[in-house]
């Protein structure tokens, strides 16, 4: 079958910025200072800003969980950290993609993959198409809380396994999809069916019974096996316990000491070592990786200064500059600041009556002094933006300008929406359901993160000048993430990594996706549906521009900044920084020859 040529946005300019942004620290003449440490040289200690919620990928949307899970599990496809091109991982190559011209799925696409012959699970059994099918079934099971992934996988209708080769299979889709290859190849890592479904609860349930949403709901209501599987799959065993977490990746999960460390150890005779020269996504270098969740920036910096951490990202801007000038850290660490494929913003819950009027949401945007945040909290290491699309992408809508700080304009919009300061206490108010309510908004932040709290305090002060009261509430990350999933929030600051592929807005903004802000409407859903099948680049870009303009008008997000990465890596490791969060890949930290 012939591979379908689909146009992808070039990111060569971003890559040049990446090279220009890499700034190794001052070289050391004393090599002993670099190699004299109190732990094994090829053991990497990686700092995390927050503790993962679980190590079961379909159940989590946490970037911290994914960072750890990527050492244990593997996808069919991966991304080259530097060129940002799609490359094979578990698969021997990128898929053969062909249009389906007849039959039940006419008008759709067929994606054919073949898994490496050497790929095995921890028990020595081969990784096969049946494990891919099981992973799909687990995520598509309506009893499993995985709505974010179901949004990406809903276009898949069936999988055909090659009768003569259990590692070769074809994924059938009933529609064209702009990120079909990426969704199939990297939305979810493969999970071993023998391990995560030991009783075979999903084995005899056809995949087609779950890829049809209506059939899946009906089956979930009538077949107890789906609920039984979900109860087992979502149990702590398969999210936190050593005997419950198992994948085909280079590292074996060893332990999780809550609040202290998560440890993974390189497998002996890891199957991918023999292929790594030709398949760089399979390479893994440290003998052991210890992930240390240290949410307090001061404690993290102290640990770095004591040499207890080998890799740290998202360093507070002021500390980032100071560390490069301190003798101990400058002698032992390289510092990098590549552009980051990510953004920082505030989720606005449009379902809340006080925030249901877009004029109020736009007023809130005018009440946030973004430039002050960038200069004060980020030491100038960031730029304003006006769309969920990364500004480096060619289809970023440049007609949309970042909203400037203008408290007078904010008050004008609030007055148009019926909010005035009737009692002269400095906070605007309005009669709602016969009761006078002030525009007081809850702003939930992650506890222990000074930069996030400092942003909140600046917003609190700037919004007050516009007559808006901001009440900051600090919560542990896992608790806040759970509140967020349940839509129990008014305002939540958030950071998001951006994939170096085409923008797929369904998860965030479609009623069939996560839609945490409540933005979705029939009009926006129809536009996103068009985007999903627009393989023509010119037409797709036109639709992208239109959706960005709609989001800008409705303002379900308050855009803050696109940050610059701030990374420190111990000099005994070779590393190529990447614009992909967190700016480096822990498994690719390679010990230098002394």
Higher pLDDT, residue 21 or 193: 193
Q: What is the pLDDT of residue 10?
A: 35
Q: What is the pLDDT of residue 500?
A: 84
Q: What is the pLDDT of residue 498?
A: 85
d(CA 562, CA 382): 5
Q: Which of 9-18, 48-57, 111-120, 367-376 has the lowest mean pLDDT?
A: 9-18
Mean pLDDT value across residues 32-60: 93
29-37, long-range: CB within 8 Å, 24+ apart, which pairs? 30/331, 31/594, 33/331, 33/332, 34/331, 34/332, 34/570, 34/571, 34/572, 35/572, 35/594, 37/307, 37/572
Q: Residue-wise over 459-480: b if at least 16 C-beta within 10 A, else e?
A: bbebbeebbbebebeebebeeb
CATH of the domain at 189: 3.90.76.10
Question: Which token pair is 87?
Answer: 């490359």
Asked if residue 360 lies in contact with residue 419, where contact means CB atoms within 8 angstroms, the answer is: yes
Q: Is residue 270 part of a domain?
A: no
Identify whether residues 542 and 407 lie together within a single domain. Answer: yes
Give the whole-number percent of the chain exceeding pLDDT 70. Answer: 95
Q: Is residue 571 part of a domain?
A: no
Give the whole-number percent of the chain exceeding pLDDT 90. Answer: 78
Question: Rounded to the nearest 5°, which phi and psi values hold at 439?
Answer: -80, 80
Q: What is the pLDDT of residue 22?
A: 45
Q: Is residue 49 part of a domain?
A: no
Write down the residue that tokens 């001052």 correspond to: 26
Tell me which of 180, 213, 230 is where a domain ends: 230
d(CA 66, CA 569): 20
Strands 43-48 and 435-438: unpaired
Question: Which token pair is 120?
Answer: 């095995």
Q: Is residue 396 part of a domain?
A: yes
d(CA 210, CA 207): 5
Give the range of the structural domain holding residue 111, as residue numbers without chain letter. 62-230
Closest CA to 110 of 181, 210, 165: 181
Identify whether residues 224 and 356 lie together within a single domain. Answer: no
Closest CA to 185 of 93, 63, 249: 93
Question: Rounded to the nearest 5°, which phi and psi values hold at 367?
Answer: -90, 0
Q: What is the pLDDT of residue 29?
A: 52
pLDDT in tens, 513-540: 889 999 999 999 999 999 988 988 899 9
Q: What is the pLDDT of residue 16?
A: 35
d(CA 196, CA 64): 22
267-275, long-range: CB within 8 Å, 24+ apart, which pairs? 267/122, 271/116, 271/118, 271/119, 271/120, 272/118, 272/119, 274/118, 275/116, 275/118
Closest CA to 585 of 574, 477, 392: 574
pLDDT in tens, 257-271: 999 999 999 999 999
Q: What is the pLDDT of residue 11?
A: 36
DSSP assignment of 461-522, as one string? HHHHTTT-EEEEEEE-HHHHHHHHHTT--SEEEEEEE--SS----HHHHSTTS--TT----H
Q: What is the pLDDT of residue 84?
A: 82
What contacts 334, CB < 8 A, 6 or more positions away? 24, 25, 568, 569, 571, 575
d(CA 364, CA 377): 20
Q: Is residue 138 part of a domain?
A: yes
Q: Is residue 132 part of a domain?
A: yes
Identify whether residues 491 and 350 lie together within a single domain. Answer: yes
**pLDDT greater than 60 at residue 116:** yes
CATH of the domain at 469: 3.10.105.10
Q: What is the pLDDT of residue 21?
A: 44
Q: How many CA atoms lie within 13 A of 88 on its CB side?
A: 19
d(CA 271, CA 63): 26
Q: What is the pLDDT of residue 340?
A: 85
**pLDDT greater than 60 at residue 25:** no
Q: What is the pLDDT of residue 30?
A: 62
Mean pLDDT value across residues 183-192: 96
pLDDT interval class at 381 (50, 70, 90): confident
**CB neighbourhood size of 121 (10 A):** 20
Higher pLDDT, residue 431 or 594: 431
d(CA 579, CA 339): 6
Q: How far is CA 443 from the centre of its chain?
A: 22
Identify whether residues 359 and 218 lie together within a single domain. Answer: no
Across the chain, mean pLDDT equals: 91
Number of structural domains in the chain = 2
Sign of the CA dihedral 79, 84, 86, 88? negative
Q: Is residue 324 part of a domain?
A: no
pLDDT interval class at 85 (50, 70, 90): confident
Identify whether residues 76 and 216 lie together within a single domain. Answer: yes
Identify whether residues 216 and 361 lie together within a single domain. Answer: no
Asked if residue 292 lies in contact with residue 309, where contact means CB atoms within 8 angstroms, the answer is: yes
d(CA 142, CA 145): 7
Identify whether residues 394 and 536 lie together within a single domain. Answer: yes
pLDDT in tens, 385-422: 999 999 888 899 999 999 999 999 999 999 999 999 99
Q: What is the pLDDT of residue 293?
A: 96
Q: Is residue 50 part of a domain?
A: no
Tell me which of 230, 257, 278 is where a domain ends: 230
**pLDDT greater than 90 at residue 579:** no
pLDDT in tens, 132-182: 999 999 999 999 999 888 878 989 999 999 999 999 999 999 999 999 999
pTM (2 decimals)?
0.76
**pLDDT greater than 50 at residue 27:** no
d(CA 555, CA 351): 13
Q: Which 3 state secondary structure label does DSSP give 245?
A: coil
Mean pLDDT value across residues 466-479: 94
């Amino acid at each position: 079958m012939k591979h379908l040529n689909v146009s992808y946005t070039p990111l060569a300019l971003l890559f040049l910025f990446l090279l220009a942004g890499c700034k190794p620290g001052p070289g050391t003449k004393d090599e002993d200072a670099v190699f004299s440490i109190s732990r094994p040289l090829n053991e990497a200690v990686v700092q995390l800003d927050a503790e993962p919620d679980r190590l079961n990928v379909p159940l989590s949307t946490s970037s911290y969980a994914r960072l750890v899970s990527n050492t244990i599990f593997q996808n069919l496809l991966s991304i080259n950290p530097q060129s940002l091109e799609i490359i094979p991982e578990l698969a021997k190559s990128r898929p053969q993609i062909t249009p389906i011209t007849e039959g039940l799925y006419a008008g759709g696409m067929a994606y054919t993959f073949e898994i490496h012959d050497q790929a095995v699970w921890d028990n020595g059994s081969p990784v096969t198409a049946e494990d891919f099918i099981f992973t799909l079934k687990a995520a598509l099971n309506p009893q499993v809380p995985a709505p974010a992934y179901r949004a990406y996988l809903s276009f898949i209708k069936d999988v055909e396994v090659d009768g003569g080769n259990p590692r070769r299979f074809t994924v059938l889709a009933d529609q064209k999809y702009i990120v079909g290859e990426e969704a199939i190849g990297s939305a979810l890592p493969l999970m071993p069916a023998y391990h995560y479904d030991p009783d075979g609860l999903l084995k005899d349930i056809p995949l087609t019974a779950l890829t049809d949403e209506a059939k899946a709901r009906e089956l979930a209501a009538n077949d107890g096996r789906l609920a039984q599987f979900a109860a087992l799959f979502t149990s702590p065993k398969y999210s936190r316990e050593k005997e419950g977490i198992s994948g085909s990746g280079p590292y074996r999960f060893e332990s999780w000491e809550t609040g202290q460390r998560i440890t993974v150890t390189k497998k002996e005779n890891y199957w991918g070592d023999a292929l790594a020269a030709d398949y760089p996504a399979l390479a893994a270098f440290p003998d052991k990786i210890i992930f240390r969740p240290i949410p307090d920036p001061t404690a993290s910096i102290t640990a770095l200064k004591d040499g207890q951490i080998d890799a740290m990202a998202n360093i507070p801007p002021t500390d980032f500059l100071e560390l490069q000038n301190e003798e101990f850290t400058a002698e032992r660490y390289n510092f990098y600041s590549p552009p980051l494929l990510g953004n920082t913003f505030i989720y606005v819950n449009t379902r809340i009556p006080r925030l249901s009027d877009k004029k109020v949401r736009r007023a809130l945007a005018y009440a946030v002094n973004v430039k002050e945040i960038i200069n004060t909290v980020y030491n100038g290491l960031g730029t304003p933006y006006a769309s969920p699309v990364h500004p480096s992408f060619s289809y970023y809508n440049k007609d949309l300008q970042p909203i400037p700080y203008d408290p007078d304009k904010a008050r004008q919009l609030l007055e148009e929406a019926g909010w005035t300061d009737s009692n002269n206490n400095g906070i605007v108010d309005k009669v709602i359901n016969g009761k006078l309510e002030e525009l007081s908004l809850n702003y939930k932040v992650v506890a222990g993160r000074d930069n996030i709290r400092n942003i909140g305090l600046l917003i609190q002060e700037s919004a007050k000048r516009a007559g808006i009261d901001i009440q900051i509430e600090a919560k542990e990350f896992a608790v806040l993430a759970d509140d967020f999933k349940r839509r129990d929030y008014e305002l939540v600051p958030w950071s998001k990594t951006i994939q170096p592929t085409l923008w797929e807005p369904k998860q965030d903004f479609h009623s069939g996706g996560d839609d945490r802000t409540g933005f979705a409407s029939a009009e926006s859903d129809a536009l996103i549906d068009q985007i999903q099948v627009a393989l023509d680049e010119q037409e797709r870009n036109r639709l992208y521009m239109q959706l960005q303009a709609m989001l800008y008008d409705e303002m379900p997000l308050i855009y803050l900044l696109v940050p610059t990465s701030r990374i420190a890596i111990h000099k005994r490791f070779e590393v190529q920084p990447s614009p992909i969060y967190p700016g480096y890949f822990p498994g690719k930290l390679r010990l230098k020859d002394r």
